[in-house]
Structure formats: structure tokens, C-alpha cells
Structure 1
Amino acid sequence: MKILVTGFDPFGPDKINPAIEAVKRLPDTIKGATIVKVEIPTIFNKCAEVVHDAIAREKPDYVLNIGQAGGRFGLTPERVAINLDDGRIADNAGYQPLNHTIHEDGANAYFTQLPIKAMAHAIREAGLPSTVSNTAGTYVCNHIMYQTQYMRDKEFPQIKAGFMHIPFLPDQVTNRPNTPSLSLADDVRGITAALEAIVEFDGKADLDTVEGTIA
């Protein structure tokens, strides 16, 4: 089994992005699965080109995109991506789409194929906060989740794909009072636990338990 794991580069005012820093530190193999790590730019459309090339080159069984969600307490596997770009800020190329449809011939939304409940459960079993999230936002994180699902729908039906958000690092919240953070070591541990769940649940149904929140 091969799992492609991507992480975004820094964006906005931050000089670091926990997504790529954690991805770079993942083990090369997890429970026998080969882990392929790729950095992607925080740029609408360009990030999808990089992921497309990596899928075509590596031919993974699974794709897990990782992104930063400042303000969240835990690691949150995403359930769904929507066909909308609506940037609260410009991306790293200066582009800020507003109410923009990603693909006219795409579904309004795509649901993940990953065992997100098992992933959240495994992360909590590792001693870290995690819940299933039902919104990936409308910025580049949702964009790449949607784009990867669109690739699966149109070109790579053999893959299973999804997205997970992780919190700020402690260094990122020194000037952001009352904002939660998680250490880089814990990010790596949590993502590893999620990947272990993906391997363990390969070919199986996801957990039939409540793993989200009331919101």
C-alpha cells in the first residue's frame, strides 16, 4: 500500500506552517504502508497541479492532504469538500477568489472515502484531541480537498482521498492570546495515528460511532 501525504507551505503572516513541517517528519513506512510526502503551495489551482502530478507519478492507494486551521483545538479529519472558493485573504500568489465555482462540471460537494471516524478515534487513543469536522472552509484547504476528489471522480477512480486540519504550533500563538496550539511532535504523532487507522481500515467500513461535535 502507498499513501500520498501532502502539506501546505506557510501563508499569510506566518513564517511556518505546521502542515508541511509535520508531514516532513512522518515515518517513511507506517504499518507496512509506504508514505510519500509532498509539499504543496498555498495557491489556488497550483496546489492541485502539484497533487495531480504526484498522483500520476506515485500511483498511491490513498491521498491525505494536511492543512493548518488556526483556532481549532484538535486534529480534525474532514467529511466533505464543497465546490466553492471564497478566500478570506489572498493566496501566496496574490489571488483572492470570491464566490468562485471550482469546477462547473463537478459535484456540488464530494465526501471523503477515508475512515474519518476511525481516524479521529485513533488520534484520541494516542492521547490527542480529535473530532470529525463537517466543514473544510472555503480557502485553499477546501480547494485541494475538492480538487483531489474531482481528480478521483474524473481521472483516478482507484484512489481514496481526504483531508485533515491541524492546529497552530505554539510559536504561532505567542501574539494570538487564548488561541489553542499543538506541538509539532504531537502533530506528527496524531497524523501517524490517523494513517495507521487508514491502513487498518483498508477494505473495511468506518466506525459506526459518534466522533464529531454538535456544531
Structure 2
Amino acid sequence: MAKNLRHFVTLDKAGNAPKSEKVVPDGFVAYWSSLPEQESLVSLLETNNIPARISNDCGTHLCNQIFYSFLHWREIHKSEMKVGFVHIPVLPEQVIKFWSESPFMPMDMTRKALLLIISKQIQMVDSKVLAV
């Protein structure tokens, strides 16, 4: 779920830290992901020995802002485009330097996870096109 809220607890690269601001001033409070079959994506990743889970919170920092912006665009344009968000864990070396409490994943595993997710989405689109 993406929230119409920018509330940064850390500065962005430009030094900004908005507090309790809306992403879109007249936008809805929140939007749900429109990505289909999310549970099957978790199963697909776990079958490939990649840890995964569904989360209904992408925070209130830049991840949420991007996700909300895409879902808002989808809504105002009445698009059938599927929009989802995959939170990618940090790299092990980032945990050591910056985020000692953060989940992490090696780059090769992250690449494999993204390849599986994208391939599955393409398969779903292709199967719908062939069914028509």
C-alpha cells in the first residue's frame, strides 16, 4: 500500500526531510498495489531459496513517494497498467557501513529475485494476450 504521506526520518540526498506532507496535495489517502498474484510471487521466490514476504508498508520516505506517484498516475489516467513495489534489501556491505539492523541480500540473489518477478509478470501478460 502506498500512502499520500511524505514524512522522512532521514535526509534525502538533497538534504530535504519533509514532515507530514502529502505526496499529491489533492490525492487519495492511499492506494493498494494493483500487482496481481502477490502471494504466488512469494512462493516462487521461496521455491528458489530466496527469502520474501508481502509487506503493506513501504514507509514514508522516497520508496513510498515513488510508489504513490505511480499509483496516482494510474488512477487519474484510468490505466489498466499493473503497479507494484518490490522493496530490495540492502547489500551486506551497506549493513556494515550504514544500517546495522537492516535485512540484507547479496547482489546475485537480488538479481535472481528480480529476474523471477519480472519473468512471472511477463508470463501473466502473455497468457492474457494469448487468451484473447
TM-score normalized by the length of structure 2: 0.84
What are structure 2's unaligned runs of at least 5 residues? none
The reply on whether 1:120 has 2:42 as its aligned counterpart is yes
The reply on whether 1:164 has 2:86 as its aligned counterpart is yes
What is the CA-CA distance between 1:106 and the residue it aligns to?
A: 1.4
What is the CA-CA distance between 1:186 and the residue it aligns to?
A: 0.3
The reply on whether 1:133 has 2:48 as its aligned counterpart is no
Deviations 1:144-165 (A, max 9, x none): 0000001111136132111110
Following TM superposition, the consecutive aligned residue runs of length 4 or more in structure 1 with deviations greater than 4 angstroms are 175-179
After superposition, the CA RMSD in angstroms is: 1.9
Is the strand fraction higher in 1 or 2?
1
Percent identity, please: 28
The equivalences for 1:1-215 within 5 A come to: 80-115=1-36, 116-155=38-77, 157-175=79-97, 177=100, 179-202=102-125
**1:87 and 1:139 in contact (8 A); partners too:** yes
Determine the structure 2 residue equivalent to 1:48. Answer: none
* Structure 2 CA distance for partners of 1:180 and 1:81, relative to 1, 3 Å: closer
* Structure 2 CA distance for partners of 1:101 and 1:131, relative to 1, 3 Å: same
Is the helix fraction higher in 1 or 2?
2
What is the CA-CA distance between 1:141 and the residue it aligns to?
A: 0.1
Deviations 1:43-67 (A, max 9, x none): xxxxxxxxxxxxxxxxxxxxxxxxx
Counterpart-to-counterpart distance in 2, 1:150 and 1:104: 11
SS at match of 1:160: coil
What is the CA-CA distance between 1:198 and the residue it aligns to?
A: 1.4
Counterpart-to-counterpart distance in 2, 1:183 and 1:145: 24
**1:126 and 1:193 in contact (8 A); partners too:** no
SS at match of 1:166: coil
